[in-house]
Amino acid sequence: MKKLLLSILLIPFLLVGCNKKNKSGGEEQTPEVHYIDVSVTEVSLVEGETYQIPINILNKTIIICQSSNEQVATVSHEGLVTAIAQGESTITISGGKDRFTVFVTVSLDEAKDSLQIVMPKTSYNIALGDEYIIPLSVKYGNQIVSNPTLHYTYEVEGIISIEGLNVTTLSVGTTKCVVEASYNEMSITSSFTISVY
């Protein structure tokens, strides 16, 4: 009877010593289970731009995406961010026990309201008597303006005359030309050189 009682009392001590050991002799830890993984922490966007957050979904996890400031940036259930207005927002992505944040900065689309003159080069050689069209375009934001107002001034008068984009040669020589483009109550200038031979 004493032997049986002693055996029963020793069972808890024997069980404590039965934990699994790893190869180095330490106790094995239960591996941490991950549910989602997000590889980015910061995103910079301009107004109107969208960005898909790369979310790696593990173990068929349902994700929840939230924006801290929806006036700056919104986010869909799948992690598609839409930049609304200039400012900052934090996107939180949760899935299972995992939680990630992506810091979003939205800036103004400066090209949206800008006017620019686009020319492939700044000097042209034209033979006297030839007809020539200046390869010039005016852009408002990212759109080409179809009928901008163009005004030309010449450093040396009497060599050329330009109407719209059409160049008329008048005599041999070289002149610097300044073009002013106007559109939507904005104006911009650019210069180029024409040599007539």
Other C-beta atoms lying within 10 Å of the C-beta of residue 82: 17
Residue 120: what pLDDT? 82
- In angstroms, how far is CA 137 from the centroid of its own chain? 26
Q: Is residue 144 part of a domain?
A: yes
pLDDT in tens, 145-177: 888 889 999 999 999 999 989 999 999 999 999
List of residues 6+ apart from 62 with CB closer than 8 A: 95
Q: Is residue 25 part of a domain?
A: no
CATH of the domain at 147: 2.60.40.1080
Query: In which residue are the tokens 């104006």 written?
Result: 187
Q: Let me know whether 158 and 182 are in one domain.
A: yes
Q: Let me know whether 66 and 140 are in one domain.
A: no
Token digits of residue 185: 């109550």
pLDDT in tens, 47-77: 889 999 999 988 788 999 999 999 999 999 9
Provide the 3-class DSSP secondary structure of residue 177: strand
3-state secondary structure 32-99: CCCCEEECCCEEEEECCCEEECCEEECCCCCEEEEECCCCCEEECCCCEEEECCCEEEEEEEEECCEE
Which domain covers residue 148, as residue numbers?
Answer: 112-196
CB-CB contact of 137 with 144 (8 Å): yes
Is the pTM above the cut of 0.85? Answer: no
